[in-house]
Amino acid sequence: GAVVSQHPSRVICKSGTSVKIECRSLDFQATTMFWYRQFPKQSLMLMATSNEGSKATYEQGVEKDKFLINHASLTLSTLTVTSAHPEDSSFYICSVAYTEAFFGQGTRLTVV
């Protein structure tokens, strides 16, 4: 199955700064990757679909100018949380669709 590597696994940043999260498909060329967010005791919620070489598709209620997605190659998608605020603190996780959905290890973001 596909191996997905996500980095960093944990980050603490100050309010107002930006944070970049990387998602790499190590053994599978992924034209599409997916970004999810999970708040404590809540379900995973799809934020956006990342498309290689084109603009990402955002789910309703997700600000595209705040959550910048870049999918410049078939093995790398990045999510940048811009001007982070404490309410952005969450567990962010990416996935690649292959025979099933394979997930990265997730990034726990804490904004202080």
Nearest Cα to Cα of residue 56 among 24, 75, 33: 33
Which stretch, 18-26, 32-40, 69-77, 80-88, contacts other proteins (CB under 8 A)? 32-40
Instruction: Select from 24, 25, 34, 81 the one that contacts other proteins (CB under 8 A).
Output: 34
Smallest gap, in angstroms, from Cβ of residue 19 to other proteins?
A: 18
Which stretch, 11-19, 20-28, 30-38, 66-74, contacts other proteins (CB under 8 A)? 30-38
Distances (CA, A) of 64 to 4, 57, 58: 24, 9, 7
**Cβ atoms < 10 Å from Cβ of 47:** 24
